[in-house]
Structure 1
């Protein structure tokens, strides 16, 4: 029965017919249009984080889904009132072009598939939101950027931390430098996962690996704290469970050198719990601990400043900010170029670990 349901949606979504209304931001009654979001991939992050967060947003709403698992469809339709014509599978993503209920296609599939589906999304003429990391390679990132530019749609990367208020303060300090020149910083994120699931995160081809999955938070933090791009990278990767981590890294340590002389020490692991960003400057220090969890991000500085502005939901704030960029036709907070910069450095980190030496990051 579920297979038939999936076939029905695949074969008839075009035939059901849509009212081909021109895109606009205002309803006929004068109220502001909410941005319709279609989630591509109904895994854990979409199911337990993004979909619930969309219920808390002001400027967007969940209007469509793309899944390769027919058994998930009835549950999602019942919970979020998604009509049959707004349900797609991976072979029918292109048909979203004809659906006026959907303004944004949000890519939430494994990293190794981001480029494939982000490009398909851009070719529908809908705006594209893509989860971090943007893709596996710099070349894939550029292909996504090119597709979005060709189709004249907005592209934003799901770096929720760059929307979080305490993190925004730290980002501002990269310019104002209230504690003087940055000397060193430490960015560490990890969880003690005693029995990692055999999931795509252990599959190198699909973009698995701790550096891609978690380490990109520490890497991105190193860049937004300094406001600079690193010039060189040194890295080491290791595992205490080679029988599990046969293709991907369990732990990665990396060091970044910046043009100003600042040095960043990053660490990420699924074998150890750690979650701190610490910045040492000429005239003081500041820290966020934890610095990238879904909730409870807070910190302090050596002058007594507390970084403790509360936020209801990071993902809701992220998506509302991105929806406003569409509504107001303004630049996005985290463009594709930002995601590509991180992926370029991730590639350099893996290269350094393989060569066991320092490599250029530019």
Structure 2
């Protein structure tokens, strides 16, 4: 396995009815008539392609544009996804999208360090913005992205697909209902053996780090939505067994701990050197919940002290884009936030983890 992003999955989707809007466009389905979020994807790599494929079965979002630094990819996408040439842009000229009324939102799916510039440019063009996670390489840049979108009066959402996953949401519902009692402990294991040593994820300038900026953020974010609180301190230790592959500033394995105001603690692992690590475990005084796998492309498997969870698998990116259409067009409030402010919190925790590694000390976190 070269990457968790190479997992295969079946395309599926769930229909959700939304209120009628005065300005509506008929979706490419007989079961839904309502507003469509018309999306251009910026960054046509493997994950951009995964999102594009998943959007073919969306009810409320439609892929209508493509933005890339590679002309041949634009030609391929025009053919594969029936995208008009007038809705295709290069990285150099995509600011002209401001004059294109057929595109509502731009989904930025590039290497991490490029997110900030593209998000701010999209906001200045007056388009709604969706950005892959981590939203940026540090909290300072992330906050500047949030501020730029606020100034431009556009929404900034982040690709937290797990925030819409039914097994995950059921555990959150049970926790909120008090079914696990007081939460005491969370464990998050996030890792895989990364392949090609020349890929951008192992380039400090493009990725902003290593495993923590790619896979570890799942345990950070998962700890927050599973425990139901934001941490107030972190400790962390780094292990590096291959300094040739994992150069300075590119973390291979990080163990980190989080402390929460209610007394719960989390013990987490982020790694690029071990497979079979995709598990969340939540423990309360009256019960437990487990997701294993917890964040892969699916199917997600869940169980609690009350038994197995049996929600059918749906393609995460399909559901994500339909839900984000509802958020942008209808003002829907998701159960777990997916906005830029949510992403800045994760970036602050990542900043604190790297500081804890550097100093060898517990670092207080203020979110």
**Structure 2-normalised TM-score?**
0.88
Distance 2:243 2:365 in 1: 28
Cα distance in structure 1, aligned partners of 2:242 and 2:260: 33
2:184 matched to 1:180?
Answer: no
Does structure 2 conserve the Cα–Cα contact (< 8 Å) formed by 1:352 and 1:359?
yes
Is the 2:227–2:282 Cα contact (8 Å) retained in structure 1? no
Deviates most, 137-146 or 170-179: 170-179
Q: C-alpha deviations, 1:186-241, integer Å up to 9, x for none? A: 00011123x43311111122224100100000010100111111111000111211
User: Aligned pair 1:74/2:70, yes or no?
Assistant: no
User: What pairs with 1:124-135 in structure 2 (closer than 5 Å)?
Assistant: 124-135=125-136
The yes-or-no answer on 1:350 pairing with 2:354 is yes
Q: For residues 227 and 64 of structure 2, what CA distance do their matches in structure 1 show?
A: 39
- Report matched runs for 1:185-334 at 5 Å: 185-193=186-194, 195-206=195-206, 207-247=208-248, 248-273=250-275, 274-304=277-307, 306-331=308-333, 333-334=337-338
* CA gap 1:353/1:319 in 2 versus in 1, 3 angstroms: same
State the 1:156 CA deviation. 0.8
Q: Aligned residue for 2:116? A: 115
Distance verdict in 2 for CA 1:151–1:176, change over 3 Å: same
Instruction: Give the drift of 1:31.
Output: 4.6
Give the match's secondary structure for 1:192. coil
Q: Distance in 2 between matches of 1:166 and 1:257?
A: 25
Q: CA deviation at 1:28?
A: 9.5
1:359 aligns with 2:360: no
* Partners of 2:186 and 2:35 in 1: CA distance: 43
Match of 2:106 in 1: 105
Taking the aligned partners of 2:302 and 2:166, their CA distance within structure 1 comes to 12
- SS of the aligned residue for 1:97 comes to helix
Equivalent positions of 1:132-171 (< 5 A) are: 132-171=133-172
Q: Helix, strand or coil: the match of 2:269?
A: strand
Which residue pairs with 2:46 in the alignment?
Answer: 44
Cα distance in structure 1, aligned partners of 2:245 and 2:197? 9
Deviation of 1:72 (Å): 1.3
Larger Rg: 1
CA distance in 1, matches of 2:280, 2:69: 38
Q: Distance in 2 between matches of 1:303 and 1:32?
A: 39
Cα distance in 2 for residues equivalent to 1:157 and 1:28: 26
Contact 1:127 1:153 (8 Å CA) reproduced: yes
CA-to-partner distance for each residue in 1:82-114, whole Å, 9 max, x for gaps?
Answer: 111111111112111111111010010111111
Aligned mates of 2:314, 2:176 — CA distance in 1: 27
Task: Name the count of aligned residue pairs.
Answer: 337
Deviates more, 1:161-170 or 1:327-336: 327-336
TM-score normalised by the chain length of structure 1? 0.89
Cα drift, residue 169 of structure 1:
1.5
**In 2 relative to 1, CA 27–184 (structure 1 residues): closer, same or farther, beyond 3 Å?**
closer
Determine if contact 1:297/1:308 at 8 Å carries over to the other structure: no
| Alpha-carbon distance in 2 for matches of 1:88, 1:178 | 51
- How far apart are residue 25 of structure 1 and its match? 3.6
Contact conserved, 1:111 with 1:136, CA < 8 A, in 2?
yes
Q: Give matches, 1:14-93, under 5 Å.
A: 25-27=23-25, 31-47=33-49, 49-93=50-94
CA–CA distance in 2 between the matches of 1:24 and 1:55? 24
Question: Could you tell me how far 1:310 is from its partner in structure 2?
Answer: 1.4
TM-aligned CA distance change 1:283 to 1:28, over 3 Å: closer
Q: CA RMSD in A?
A: 1.8
Flag structure 2 segments of 5+ consecutive residues without an equivalent: 1-20
d(CA) in 2 for partners of 1:61, 1:34: 7
